Amino acid sequence: MRGVISAIVVAIVAACAVPQAAHAQTSTQAGTYNGHALPEATKRRMKATKASIPAKLRRTLDELKAQRLVPAMKRTAARYGIDPIHILAAVVGEHVFNYDIRDNLQEVALHYARRLRTTTFSCGGVPLETVLELPQFRGCKGSSNSYWTCVESTWYASVRGRTVGRERLPRRNLTESCFNPFATGQTYGLGQLSPVTALKMMDTTKLPKITYKDADALYERILDPDESINVIAAVIVDSIAAYRAVGVDISDRPGITATLYNVGNPWARARKSRGRPKVNYYGAYIEDHIAVLEDFLN
């Protein structure tokens, strides 16, 4: 697996750092960032980490520098035709506001190592392949993004909780129900990616195509830093394309692409935006620290 486990243990320990001049402009009101509300799950995670926003930013940038990941971000950005600030912004946002990778890194790596070449996906007791053959999914076609977006929405609307054979399908979201064999979380790695996101981006990433049937390769894609940076870039390219389709250029707006990286569903959001994309707390943080991130890349 090209040393992926050791890469996990070092490169994803990220939750790392910035020059002392940078300060997170946190609101005095708990649970917000500069007037933008934080999701309940994010508030719980931040409380659990017992680390301040400035400290998490410092750790993140320090670790990226220590693991020499900035050159990889720049190379990948050039390959995908985007500014590397977008990739850095997505990574920083994940490590500042969401999981502090050091809290579960060792557990994830150990589970992955133990199950190497034996991982399969199932929805409760029903193999994923069997679930995808259900008639409800027959209308899911097209590109990898279209197909898996359809699968995700169909699962939520009409499949979860149903009985297949003698097994009742879980009622949770698709990732947690069918793509969480290690029971250690729903997203992993440098960009906190889920297997479903990697599958959606399969036609956009400039990497060999794999399917959900090769679960170990799919996990390597989101855990190995070199591969995961490609998926992060693909997510950003997809978001830019979604807004370009409605006549809006966000290719020079990392606060917006970071917001979309955080909330997902860029095509639906682009259609509803009326040409006026807005940042959430995640994107606002990136905009407030854009000078720090640009200096870090130079």
pLDDT of 172-182, one tens digit each? 999 999 998 76
- Say whether both 86 and 225 belong to one domain: yes
- Say whether both 254 and 204 belong to one domain: yes
- Say whether both 165 and 244 belong to one domain: no
- Residue 45, pLDDT > 60, answer yes
- Say whether both 26 and 173 belong to one domain: no
- Say whether both 106 and 172 belong to one domain: no
Q: Is residue 185 part of a domain?
A: no
Least confident piece of the model among 94-103, 147-156, 188-197, 239-248:
94-103
Average pLDDT over residues 281-296: 95
Q: Is residue 42 part of a domain?
A: yes
pTM of the model as a whole: 0.85
Q: Which of 104, 76, 44 lies closest to 85 in space, CA to CA?
A: 76
Domain extent at residue 26: 4-119+190-297
Q: Is residue 184 part of a domain?
A: no
Q: Is residue 90 part of a domain?
A: yes
Look at 66 and 204; give whichever has higher pLDDT. 204
Q: Which of 24, 42, 22 lies closest to 94 in space, CA to CA?
A: 42
pLDDT of 67-92, one tens digit each? 899 999 999 999 999 999 999 999 99
Please give, one letter per residue, the 3-state secondary structure of 5-57: HHHHHHHCCCCCCCCCCCCCCCCCCCCEECCEECCHHHHHHHHHHCCCHHHHH
- Say whether both 135 and 174 belong to one domain: yes
- Say whether both 29 and 88 belong to one domain: yes
- Say whether both 136 and 269 belong to one domain: no
**Which H helix or E strand runs over 168?**
strand 167-168
